[in-house]
């Protein structure tokens, strides 16, 4: 009876990969917060919000939540390497499965936003050798 679970898979590997992605996103969220602090435009906008004593701007289009600037409930990602890292995280992992431009834009757009996200995702997908080989 001691070895009744021997050679049994209790947790599927794809569940673990999904958890890895969640852990990476939490680390990413903290790095985005730090990047936003270094972005002068964001810092000035947040300071104006604080001075005005409000948490939202333009009918909740922009707000600050837990120290992170959000646009329509999605994390604003400042210019820099974090944008590419987010695309890689969603595209090059088993969860993203090398989805095309529109799938990736929709997947990333659930949680993140930046100006030109669709074009940037499109360029990344167009540069992906695997996507171009298996494209219909």
- Walk along the chain (136 residues) and give the pLDDT tens digit of each residue: 566 666 665 555 554 444 455 556 778 888 898 888 888 877 777 777 667 766 555 556 778 888 888 888 899 999 899 999 899 888 877 666 777 888 889 989 999 999 999 999 999 988 888 877 776 5
Residues facing 62 on adjacent strands: 57, 71
DSSP-derived 3-state class of residue 61: coil
Neighbours of 91 (CB within 10 A): 23
The residue extents of the domains of the chain are: 13-134
Q: Which fold has domain 13-134?
A: Endonuclease III; domain 1 (1.10.340)
pTM passes above 0.75: no
- The C-alpha torsion from 83 through 116 and 136 to 89, rounded to 10°, is 10
């Amino acid at each position: 009876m001691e070895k009744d679970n021997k050679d049994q898979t209790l947790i599927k590997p794809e569940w673990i990969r999904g958890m890895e992605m969640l852990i990476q996103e939490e680390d990413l969220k903290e790095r985005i917060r730090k990047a936003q602090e270094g972005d002068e435009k964001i810092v000035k906008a947040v300071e104006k919000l604080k001075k005005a004593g409000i948490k939202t701007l333009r009918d909740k289009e922009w707000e600050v939540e837990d120290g992170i600037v959000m646009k329509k409930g999605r994390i604003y990602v400042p210019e820099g390497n974090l944008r590419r890292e987010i695309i890689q995280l969603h595209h090059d992992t088993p969860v993203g499965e090398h989805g095309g431009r529109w799938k990736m834009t929709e997947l990333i757009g659930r949680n993140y936003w930046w100006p030109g996200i669709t074009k940037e995702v499109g360029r990344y997908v167009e540069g992906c050798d695997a996507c171009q080989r298996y494209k219909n």
